[in-house]
């Protein structure tokens, strides 16, 4: 979805100012390691990428404390009925939409729990719409359109930290009382943004100067993987390391559900299949039924009492 705006073009002065303002950013710098990129063999290019991508992993490790806080804050918000929104433009926006889209099949969450907002709407997922990132007002209107409130968490994603669309969205979210989080790949002294949690993934200069779909994109994807998965773990969507809330919507996922039941119980494939069917294809409920002897309705009630957390439900039975 696109939103109305008042200024659709930039004059030469503003373009020149933009170059002056952003040229110093870490994400725009030249990488000495790739100076001869156009003269490298294919193997040398692969080796260079492999070496440089290690910086993405290190950058996420350096931000571990901030990511942990984001997990705890977001899980607490969602327990109160809040939602998680990712907001971005270009590559950053696409990564947010991707992470949000993968939560329902992986954790059986309602689509509204985790949502991705990208400048230019759905069309921008398939066709470059980077020019739309300069509209701060569109970011504000997107927050308004989604009814963001004080229970929600809004994560602004902008590799260079300067995207007006993201700034507008974060400012609007803050005004509504939502928890605001920034994920950027430039240090705070280069771009300061007033948010509740500030996550900086300092991957260094890109192999192709300024192409933040590379290391910056990789680090951002890693961070989003950690954030959304960590939140779902805290919400009881995982038992051990098994996705016990997997949405069984096709043959592959039905087989995965059976393997989880077989691995965690003493059941053979036929018995596990019968149990899964009795549970309505809900792995978590099937496990509870098997381990407690409860029927589906009683098991559902017990899980509801414990906010869907299987381990808490089992502990409650043991305490009795």
Q: Which are the catalytic amino acids?
A: 102, 133
Contact 165, 133 (CB under 8 A): yes
Residue 184's φ and ψ, nearest 5 degrees, are: -140, 165
Query: Nearest-CA neighbor of 231 among 181, 193, 287?
Result: 181
Contact 237, 244 (CB under 8 A): yes
Alpha carbons within 13 A on the beta-carbon side of 41: 3
Beta strands per DSSP E along the chain: 84-88, 114-118, 153-157, 179-184, 197-200
Contact 155, 183 (CB under 8 A): yes
**What HEC string does 230-274 produce?**
HHHHHCCCCECCECCCCCCCCHHHHHHHHHHHHHHCCCCHHHHHH
Residue 183's φ and ψ, nearest 5 degrees, are: -120, 115
């Amino acid at each position: 979805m696109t939103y109305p705006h008042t200024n659709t073009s930039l004059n030469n002065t503003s373009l020149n100012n933009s170059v002056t303002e952003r040229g110093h950013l870490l994400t725009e710098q030249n990488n000495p390691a790739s100076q001869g990129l156009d003269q490298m063999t294919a193997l040398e290019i692969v080796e260079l990428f492999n070496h440089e991508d290690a910086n993405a992993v290190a950058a996420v490790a350096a931000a571990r404390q901030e990511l942990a806080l984001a997990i705890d804050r977001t899980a607490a918000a969602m327990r109160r009925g809040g939602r998680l929104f990712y907001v971005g433009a270009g590559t950053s926006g696409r990564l947010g939409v991707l992470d949000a889209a993968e939560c329902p099949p992986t954790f059986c969450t309602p689509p509204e729990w985790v949502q991705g907002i990208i400048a230019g709407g759905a069309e921008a997922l398939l066709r470059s719409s980077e020019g739309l990132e300069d509209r701060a007002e569109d970011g504000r209107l997107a927050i308004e359109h989604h009814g963001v409130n004080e229970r929600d968490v809004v994560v602004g994603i902008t590799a260079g930290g300067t995207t007006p669309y993201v700034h507008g969205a974060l400012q609007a979210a803050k005004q509504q009382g939502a928890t605001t989080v920034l994920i950027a790949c430039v240090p705070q002294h280069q771009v300061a943004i007033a948010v509740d949690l500030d996550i900086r993934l300092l991957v260094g200069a890109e192999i192709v100067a300024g192409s933040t779909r590379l290391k910056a994109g990789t680090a951002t994807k890693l961070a989003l993987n950690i954030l959304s998965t960590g939140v779902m773990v805290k919400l009881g969507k995982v038992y051990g390391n098994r996705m016990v809330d997997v949405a069984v919507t096709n043959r592959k996922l039905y087989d995965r559900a059976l393997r989880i039941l077989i691995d965690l119980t003493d059941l053979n494939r036929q018995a596990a299949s019968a149990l899964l069917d009795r549970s309505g294809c809900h792995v978590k409920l099937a496990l509870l039924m098997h381990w407690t002897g409860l029927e589906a309705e009683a098991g559902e009630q017990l899980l509801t009492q414990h906010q869907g957390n299987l381990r808490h439900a089992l502990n409650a039975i043991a305490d009795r």
